[in-house]
Chain A
Amino acid sequence: MSVAGIDPEIATLVIPLVAAALLAVLPGYRTTARLNIVASLATLVAATSLFFVDRPPPGAYLLVDDLNIVFLVLTAFVAFTTSIFSASYIGHEIEAGHLSPAYLRFYHAMYQLLMFGMNLALLANNIGIMWVAIELATLTTVLMVGIYRTHEALEAAWKYFILGSVGIALALFGTILVYMASGPVIGEGGDSMVWTNLVAHADRFDPALLNVAFIFLLLGYGTKVGLAPLHAWLPDAHAEGPTPISAVLSGLLLNVALYAVLRFKILLAASPDALAPGPLMVTMGLSSLLFAGLMLYRRRDIKRLFAYSSIEHMGVIVFAFGMGGPLANFAGLLHMVMHSLTKSGIFFAVGHIAQVKGTQKIAGIRGLTVSHPALGWAFVVGVVAIAGLPPLGIFMSEFLVVTSTFAREPLLAVILVVGLLVGLGALFLRVNDIAFGEPTGSTAPVKASYLPMYVHFGLVLAAGVYVPPMLALWFENVSALLG
């Protein structure tokens, strides 16, 4: 069924594309920031309506199912709140003279193009198109990371580009191998790259070829997820780009890459003789968790600190999906949603903090709860949430991951808990310095709306106390789909 003649899934692609074209030419900061918000809202409405309308049957290009609706709505929601945060953040950057009008147009156009790329990657039913879309999304973020043109920003963008390209290349090779495996069964041509066809016929694919393909895909898309040891781009890209981009990188782009890995995991699960993808993902997830947990201790830059925390949490999520089974998948999905909401909320807070204090160095930020109580306490709530303490949402999802693992692999669960505790210790050490004590630096009030940040933390808190049964049921269905 369609609304006003346009299917909502098409709308989630067309709206960002049209908005990107408009934003590339329109002048004026106020108009364009508002248009960016309106376009993001419209995309959110279109994505949410997918919950309610009848779904079209899977086509040669697009697919709507239980799995990608979750990702799509989450993406559209965080993109919308980030666009509100971005408006005030960019306003400050223009006042401070960090961005010129030409770069502003470029920034907004890239923001919408990124949304288009991510939505297309999520909706694509063709593994070739999915690859192209993820590449597009990555490139737009590379350009945005380098937008300040400082030494650090250029280095970060260059590193991101080089490692991202390696990831792109490995993923394409994996995609070609999947085609080689499917070609003899489904036949040559476009049909052999359609994901629904692939899953339907996966039992007859050459399992050895599929195994090698999955390794390439896991390494390729895993680079984008930020899994250790392929994570090197992530902290730099988060630290040097504009903060709204850090929020969408951590909150969304990592998820989209993970979604690609999950699609191929389902494909492998449909082939009985292929290797089990679980142990590989478990290993990568745990090593990311442990590595990032240790790295958290020596951070002096607040955005880098939370970038490493993103690696840690992506590790937990990949671990949960690697364990598999209904409970662990449910926990992984929930953790992913909670992490996206919390981490982008934290980056909103960090953006306000860095702008008012004029520095990202943790040493230059002290006593935030004294100088800016509203911001400071919200930040503390965010850090408590991301550290995984009750009663917030991440506690619940981490608890589920740990308990479901204890029931099956106690040894792995012990490693998992150690990793989580290491990370928790580091975060508290840092937040103590930042939030309490004698305030340093500017005490000027923040001229920005805290609303997006409050909404995110409010949702995380609410989810920690009560998950609506409808949502839980939906997640259960998706968990079953993930196998």
Chain B
Amino acid sequence: MGSGLSFDVAHLLAGSLVLVSFMLLYQDRMYALLNIFALHALVLALSVAWQAYVQDAPHLFVTAAIALIFKAIVIPVALRRIVERLGIHREIETVGGVGLTMLAGMALVGLSMVVMLRVTGDADPLAREDLAFALSVVLLGLLMMVTRRNAVSQVIGFMSLENGLILAATGAKGMPLVVEISVAFSILIAFIVIGIFLFRIRERFDTVDVRALDDFRGERQ
């Protein structure tokens, strides 16, 4: 184990990321959701920057900068504009109640702790706790994607999931391609958010509610 401090700070930041993931789960207002996501990205940026410092891996600062500038600032602002311009409902519909979702979220976090801590017994403790937290963030992101009906909040669920992956990748010491992967993901998200999908969905539909899309299914006639 490295020095006690570096471990504690990394632990604190990764744990905060899980906490913010929970906060994303129960938001029912669109703007609040975007703000919390910005916070999520900010915590990720801090966590990655700390890893870059602890591991003495300067290239990880690039990943941290991407998280800070792109995900914590550019994307939330862009999404806010899309929500305004498209007149998307400010309230978010969820499947199942908040209580149930939170319970499911806790179960998922418990599951990832049990699985990851058990199988990574021999690994470096910093990496293994990081990995357990990262898996929790990934699973909570998945949970958010399935419990939201609205396209914008599904995208946010996907981005929070991806933040979990970046956390895992930076926690794995010396892993190659981390910067490339975070750039690739950012391009993908930019693509999705600003580009084709929402643009086209706005063009063709009056709503970005995925349930409305379901009504057009080919086989329902």
Interface residues in chain A, defined as those with a beta carbon under 8 Å from any beta carbon in chain B: 128-129, 132, 135, 139, 143, 146, 149-152, 154-155, 157-158, 161-162, 165-166, 169, 172-173, 176-177, 179-180, 183-184, 188-190, 192-193, 206, 208-209, 211-212, 236, 239-240, 299-301, 304, 360
Contact = CB atoms under 8 A, between A and B. Distances in A.
B197 A158 contact: yes
13 contacts: A149-B203, A151-B213, A154-B197, A158-B201, A165-B158, A166-B145, A169-B141, A172-B165, A183-B172, A188-B173, A188-B174, A189-B176, A301-B219
A193 B120 contact: no
B200 A240 contact: no
Interface string B180-221: 110010001001100011001101110000100110111100
A152 B138 contact: no
B89 interface: no
B115 interface: yes
B142 A166 contact: yes
A173 B168 contact: yes
Interface in B74-131: 115-116, 118-123, 127, 131
B52 interface: no
B162 A169 contact: yes
Contact of B176 (A128, A154, A304): A128
Nearest to A169: B161
A317 B176 CA distance: 33
A173 B181 contact: no
Given A161-B192, A208-B118, A304-B218, A193 B176 contact: yes
A152 B172 contact: no
SS of A interface (majority): helix
A149 B218 contact: no
Contacts of A206: 119-120, 122-123
Contacts of B118: 208
Contacts of A161: 192, 197
Contacts of A132: 177, 180-181, 184
Interface of B: 115-116, 118-123, 127, 131, 134-135, 138, 141-142, 145, 151, 154, 158, 161-162, 165, 168-169, 172-177, 180-181, 184, 188, 191-192, 196-197, 200-201, 203-205, 210, 213-214, 216-219
Contacts of B196: 143, 146
Contacts of A135: 184, 188
Given A152-B216, A193-B177, A208 B154 contact: no
B131 A180 contact: yes
Contact of A180 (B120, B177, B192): B120
A152 B220 CA distance: 11
B178 to A, nearest CB: 9
A220 B161 CA distance: 14
A84 to B, nearest CB: 28
8 closest pairs, A vs B, by CB? A188-B174, A151-B216, A208-B119, A155-B213, A128-B177, A190-B176, A176-B168, A152-B218
A300 B119 contact: no
A189 B165 contact: no
B67 to A, nearest CB: 16
Contacts of B172: 176, 179-180, 183
Given A158-B151, A173-B138, 4 more contacts: A146-B200, A193-B177, A206-B120, A209-B119
A190 to B, nearest CB: 4
Contacts of B176: 128, 189-190, 193
A186 B162 CA distance: 27
A150 B134 CA distance: 38
Contacts of A157: 197
A149 B204 contact: yes
Contacts of B169: 172, 176
A166 B141 CA distance: 10
A254 B169 CA distance: 27
Of listed A158, A236, A360, residue having the most chain B CB within 10 A = A158
Contacts of A129: 177
A134 B137 CA distance: 23
A155 B214 contact: yes
A135 B180 CA distance: 13
